[in-house]
Every structure is written in C-alpha cells, then in structure tokens.
Amino acid sequence: MASYIARRKFLATLLGGAAIAWPLAARAQQTAKLPTIGLVGGAIPSTQGVWITAFVQRLRELGWIENRAVAIEVRWAEGRNERYSEIAAEFVRLKVDVIVTQGTPATIAAKEVTSVIPIVFVGIGDPVGTGLVASLARPGDNVSGLSAQLTATAAKRLETLREVVPGLRRLAILANVGNPASVLEMREAQAAASVLGVEAVILEIRRAEDIAAAFETSNGRADVLYVASDPLLNSNRVCINSLALGARVPTMHGLREYVEAGGLMSYGANFPDMYRRAADYVDKILRGTKPADIPVEQPTKFDLIINLTTAKALGLEIPPTLLARADEVIE
C-alpha cells in the first residue's frame, strides 16, 4: 500500500511538472511564430526612447500588440557605426520579418546584409542622394521609408540663425564624415553659407573622441556652430553643447533633443510623428505589400525649438517675431 501511494505521488508530481512546463513551452512556440520586427536605435534609449514609444503606440492602434500579435527586437547602436553591421547580421540570423532603421549608416548596413528582408528607414537625410533608393516614387528593391529632408532644410536653419545673430560672418559646421547623409547636409549648409556671404569652417569627426579636438580647432574662428544631424553627435549632444556654451558659441541643430540638452535652437522634422508613420509602413509590409511598391514619404511636421535659458547664458536676445514662430520655447 505504501509503495502504491508513493507511485501515485510520483506520477502526480511528474504530471504537475508537465502541466507547468507545457504552457511555458507553448508560449515560447507561440512567441517564435509571431511576426518579428527588428528595430535599430541609432543612438541611446534616453535620446530616442520617445520615438520608439510613438512607433509602438501606433502599431497597437493598427492591431499589432507587442508580444501578442507581433514581437519587437530593439538594439541600440549608441552612435557607433560599427554596431550597425553587427545588429543587421543579428536580425538576419533571427529571421525577422522587417527591419526598421534610423539614419543612413544603419540603413546601408541592413541593405548590405539582406536583399530579401524588407527594410523601413526613418529620418534619412537624403535617401536618393545617398543611393539607398532609386527615386522617392519608386524606391525599388527591399527598402522604403521616410526622409527627414535634413539636406533640404539646411538653408532654413542658417537663415533662422542669422535672425538671432544678424552680424553672422563665420560659421563652423560639425559633421560626422563617416555618415554619408551628414556629409551631404554639411555640403548643403556650406553652399547655403556661401550664398549668404558667410565663411564656413568644416569640423570633421569620426569618433566621439574627435569632438573636443574639433572645438579646439575652431576656437575663435566661428560666430556660430551648425551641427549636422547624426546618431554619434546625438549621443554626445550634452558634451557638444557644454563645449559650445563654454566657448560662447550659439548652436543650431536639426533635432529637438539637442536643444533639450542645452543647444540654442533646432529646426527639423518631428521624429515621433515620423516613427508613427513608419508603423504604417510596417503594417502594410506585414500584410503583404512589398517595400518597392510603397513610395518614400517626406515629413509633414517641422518644429522650431528655442532654448531661452541658453540664449540668456550667451547674452543673446531672441527676436519676438522668431519666438512667435517657435513651436516650443524652453525656459
């Protein structure tokens, strides 16, 4: 009788363990079968977390609830170009269904490792100029997405700067020359400066360690600093703005995050809005549309952000007409 009871307890324990293990295995299988999005964050979560949140929220609105209808794998490059190839290769190994990239280097890296997995880019400065798509209307291949028009709006940034610094004569342009889009924006800003009769000094960097040396090179040679948008520079925006403030040089940027970190002004596309729209691209692709059949779209919302605290620290007076046009004033 004792041996019978012992056997019953053993079987109950075994079956109980199986009952616990089975749902876990089933959930793992279910997760594995979910459509998977591989999302590349160009900088760091504190910089771009709001963008990702906007993307995930829009996916939910479209019926793609994370861990129920879709799986999302997020990887952060931290502004290091070498990370993009590693992340893209990892997503190929994971057999994700679509890759979402931010910026030109990340998109180039993804395109180099796969011609099959759909790629949706967000915030590329000039997708045609960098050769990522054949045209905006017919992108071709496995790539499409949203352009940030960073190159096209370079002249607008300089004109806005001149409203704050009317006697602008010398301009320093800080750019990561390892990013093709930043190089294009740098050249466009240089051309716009020439039209305005402003001398431009180019400060080239490739690594975070180059930033301080670039400032030393420009010391006393520029009235203002134009920062070409780039994940590496975005990740180091606090350092850049601290150096600029120490040198008493006003700064102009393409992203609001720089201004939140002490920069003077930014004018550019609203990135949370573009990430919401990127979710619509992903929705179409997961439902069967090919990227080649989805035209590249341009920003519909542009923001002018002004940091009055920084302006006061630099002894600058922002014209009332410019303040009236600002989408947000940080005090």
3-state secondary structure 246-291: HCCCCEEECCHHHHHCCCCEEEEECHHHHHHHHHHHHHHHHCCCCH
Strands (E), 125-280: 143-147, 170-176, 199-205, 224-227, 251-253, 265-269
Do 234 and 162 belong together in one domain?
yes
d(CA 247, CA 157): 21
Residue at 190 is within a domain: yes
Q: Residues of the chain whose pLDDT is less than 70?
A: 1-32
Residue at 39 is within a domain: yes
Residue at 112 is within a domain: yes
Do 176 and 307 belong together in one domain?
yes
The residue segments making up the domain with residue 43 are 31-149+270-301
Residue 122: its H or E element: strand 119-124
Residue at 184 is within a domain: yes
Strand-pairing partners, residue 302, are 269
The token pair at 178 is 């390892």
Residue at 8 is within a domain: no
Strand-pairing partners, residue 306, are 265, 329
Do 193 and 141 belong together in one domain?
no
Do 243 and 202 belong together in one domain?
yes
Do 202 and 310 belong together in one domain?
yes
Do 229 and 184 belong together in one domain?
yes
Q: Which residues fall within 8 angstroms of residue 225, CB to CB, at 6 or more apart?
A: 171, 172, 173, 174, 218, 244, 249, 250, 251, 252
State pLDDT tens for residues 294-325: 999 999 999 999 999 999 999 999 999 999 99
Do 182 and 209 belong together in one domain?
yes
The enclosing domain of 40 has a CATH number of 3.40.50.2300
Do 281 and 255 belong together in one domain?
no
Do 322 and 187 belong together in one domain?
yes
Residue at 4 is within a domain: no
Do 170 and 208 belong together in one domain?
yes
pLDDT on residue 32: 55
Cα-to-chain-centroid distance, residue 42: 5
pLDDT on residue 18: 34
How many domains does the structure of the chain reveal?
2
Do 41 and 128 belong together in one domain?
yes
Calculate the average pLDDT of the chain: 88
Residue at 13 is within a domain: no
State pLDDT tens for residues 25-64: 334 444 457 999 999 988 778 778 899 999 999 999 999 9
Residue type, 149: Q
Map residue 90 onto helix, strand or coil: helix
Residue at 212 is within a domain: yes
Burial group, residue 219, by CB count within 10 angstroms (0-12, 13-18, 19+): exposed
pLDDT on residue 256: 92
Do 310 and 281 belong together in one domain?
no
